Structure 1
Amino acid sequence: MKGLSSVEDTLKGATQRLNHSGSDSPSLDASVLLCHALDKPRSFLLTWPDKILSMEETGAFEEMLERRIKGEPIAYIVGEREFWSLPLQVSPSTLIPRSDTERLVEIALEKAPQLQGDILDLGTGTGAIALAIASELPQRTVWGIDVKEEARILAESNASKLGINNTHFLTGDWFSPLKDGCQFALIVSNPPYIEKHDPHLAKGDVRFEPLSALVAEDNGLSDIKYIAKHAMGFLKPDGWLMFEHGYDQGDSVRNILGALGYQNMTTYKDYGENDRVTIGQLSLCQEEK
């Protein structure tokens, strides 16, 4: 973009370039990036369309625009994504929180009142699920575990910035940081569940996200199987285990839970009417297999 231009002209030019690059939401992308470059709310763009950008503002916007044209996710460019109305810091070391995952939060909040006790989020990443649940249940303690230390630090930073004080975050591989005897009313997880040859890995935002947080062996089910088996030693009697999973994995996840002896297995659809969350309940008399 040559020279200095107004907010309106800058948005028009950027929208055209993003449209040509294949963006699914060129106008929205341009607006989000310009708001970030100007450090202004969206309303500013509508109120001051004739405002001329400074050289510094133009340079900052152009740098971000080029990154988006190359396909980099908006969330990584601006360093933030909203989830459950919570503004969360994100980084390339973690998955970008997605709206479909809010279904997992909704279902957890439906089941939480049935049992007293702490709640555990496995593979917490930015802390999105844990923080959303904790924000709605301030009297409950919510734990988050991630294998990456940088994810734990990021989740703790998000909790601090949001003033959510009923969370604790640990670093380790799934249940490994927990002491023997720990029990939870709910265990929730959005684990890796994409098969390694899935063509969707070469498209869109996921090209830039960490493969370790996306891909699992055994047709995408290996981590779900591991968690389902070992969760039995960390759930309270009648506690619930909840997974987000792929749109075509509902039957498989119910079968995994059923084979281990979980009861009341149910699969819920996401906002696009795809199977997305499956839950199972530990029986009162069940023993770990």
Structure 2
Amino acid sequence: MTSPTRLQLYLQLIRWDRPAGWLLLLWPTLSALWIAADGWPGWHLLVVFTLGTVLMRSAGCCVNDVADRDFDKHVKRTANRPVTSGAVSVKEALLLGAALALLAFGLVLTTNAPTILMSFAALAVALIYPYAKRMVSMPQAVLGVAFSFGIPMAFSAALGGNEWSWAGVYNAAPWTAWALLASNLFWVLAYDTEYAMVDRDDDIRIGIKTSALTLGRFDVIGVMAFYAIHLGSWAALGLRFGLGRIFLLGIAAAAAQAVWHWTLIRGRGREGCFKAFRLNHWVGFSVFAGTVLDLTLR
């Protein structure tokens, strides 16, 4: 068996073969972009936020694998990751992550001042998350903020403004954009708790903090409550933005999937929990499709 090339190792490091990861970030960001633009946002912003999402998720994988390399070796699912196995050095992973983040920042530079300023806050949260597992009982909440920052950035880029101040950031993204961020955080809590349920036994053994361990025997109830809070609040905010029946059909399709996920995770089996996590991007796509169709056909 031939050894993988450097390119193959780098693609493995950034999870290129697992697009579900960046789709989880992409759909709520694009939903927010369509809402902010009140319809088609234009090719420029679509390319910026699509490519930027893929690049930043890939950069985040590099940082996460460096931070977790000593933990990952004790978990069967992650023991063969390039950094953990030693196939890619820590320096290589960090350099690759930095390069990808710089490419994403280059895209942000084509937007406006408030969005550029906001990108620094988004980067800071993304860098904090890998270390939150050591200190925070529910680090998935930190991940939720990191995975949702594209929402206010989409509003800022679509609504304009060129004030180089944090007051300009506040003016560029209305409170409803931040409310969408908070709503999306609960979706991240739902699917990443499902993900944490897969590694529950390993996480107990190595001392990692996760929402699955914090919730204990209430983990399944917690996941379903997170889904309900997310979809209920996102629906209410969508109606406030003037979205209508087609949008609500998208919410209903997402809710039906959440119920199906309950059937997958209620037994707490590894395969069922991982399947529920892996297919969560369809929940986000349903909301996105309902949003786009509603704005296009009204």
Same fold, TM exceeding 0.5?
A: no
Greater share of helix = 2
TM-score, normalization by structure 1: 0.32
Q: With structure 2 as the length reference, what TM-score do the two structures score?
A: 0.32
Query: Which of the pair is proportionally richer in strand?
Result: 1
Relative contact order (C-alpha < 8 Å, sep 6+): which is higher? 2
Higher CA-based Rg: 1
